[in-house]
Amino acid sequence: RKEVEQDPGPFNVPEGATVAFNCTYSNSASQSFFWYRQDCRKEPKLLMSVYSSGNEDGRFTAQLNRASQYISLLIRDSKLSDSATYLCVVNQRAGSYQLTFGKGTKLSVIP
């Protein structure tokens, strides 16, 4: 089983649509969780951290289910500028800096 697994997509959605991405991780001892965004041929940039209670940042909502080892990202009212690859990222060990990246889910928002 891959350490961090994501549906690669692509997800092609119209502007204004709501889209959800899912991610599962294999290490139950994982400590920190993040969603990063990566534009084509660019470096990843943090979109948001994911907290146990779930958290929202504008149109973006992240949820964590530790029992199921499952993370989700919901994007409401999609914009053209949301087109990118979304990376699910996990820190698997407490006190460690090392991050494990999923392959990413590609999103294309269509006019």
Contact 84, 107 (CB under 8 A): yes
| Rounded CA separation 24/6 (Å) | 7
| Residue of 20, 46, 80, 110 that binds another protein (CB under 8 A) | 46
A 10 A CB-CB count for 52 gives 10
| Rounded CA separation 47/38 (Å) | 9
Q: Which stretch binds another protein (CB under 8 A): 16-24, 39-47, 60-68, 71-79?
A: 39-47
Site for another protein in 6-25 (CB under 8 A): 8
Element (H, E) at 108: strand 105-110
Smaller CB distance to another protein: residue 32 or 69?
Answer: 32
Q: Does 43 bind another protein (CB under 8 A)?
A: yes
Smaller CB distance to another protein: residue 61 or 102?
Answer: 102
Q: Quick one: how many helices (H) and strands (E) in the chain?
A: 0, 11
Question: Nearest distance from residue 25's CB to another protein, in Å?
Answer: 13
Q: Does 96 bind another protein (CB under 8 A)?
A: yes
Residues in contact with another protein by CB under 8 A are 4, 8, 31-32, 34, 41-46, 49, 87, 91, 94-104
